[in-house]
Amino acid sequence: MLIPDKQIVLKTIGEKYNCILSNIKGKQIMYEGISAGKKLILCTPSSKLHSQGQGWFDLTIKQVEILDDSDIAILAVRLEGNKIYYINFKELKELMTPDIMFENSSEGKHWKFYVWKNYIEIRGNEKKFYIQPEVLV
């Protein structure tokens, strides 16, 4: 099964917000642009499907700080099976508390996310963030 290419997300968001997105230096999945005078940040992680049926990704403190420092923050999760979940990051962020962060030597402090068919959960938080994917054909 295929994971949608980043270029599809960049084109979709660029057209929707009438802006040109450019890669943030040193950040492979993060892009920035200006939409109607507002700073837009896009983060587009990808994931294969785990044997239990969910995708997963991590967000580091630095990635979250970059998203927080924007007027428009979009998380576009690309999932195996040609699915893309477009999320208003500022809404999802309400579920990301410091007490559920993880830390390791390679990523530093970060949050772990699981992407199910119609919701996202943050490891350590029982609340679900309901969302429907866009399925590419």
* pLDDT attached to residue 101: 97
| pTM, rounded to two decimals | 0.94
Q: pLDDT digit string (tens) for 35-91?
A: 999 999 999 999 999 988 899 999 999 999 999 999 999 999 999 999 999 999 999
Quick check: 5 pLDDT over 80?
yes
Q: pLDDT digit string (tens) for 15-49?
A: 999 999 999 999 999 999 999 999 999 999 999 99
**Domain assignment present for 1:** no
Give the position of tokens 């997300």: 9
**Domain assignment present for 121:** yes
**Domain assignment present for 60:** yes
Q: pLDDT digit string (tens) for 97-107?
A: 999 999 999 88
Q: What is the CATH classification number for the domain harbouring 35?
A: 3.40.1350
Distance from the first to the final alpha carbon of the chain:
12
Contacts of residue 25, defined as CB under 8 A and 6 or more positions apart, other chains included, come to none
Retrieve residue 60's tokens. 């580091």
* pLDDT attached to residue 107: 86
- Domain tally, the chain: 1
Boundaries of domain holding 51: 6-135
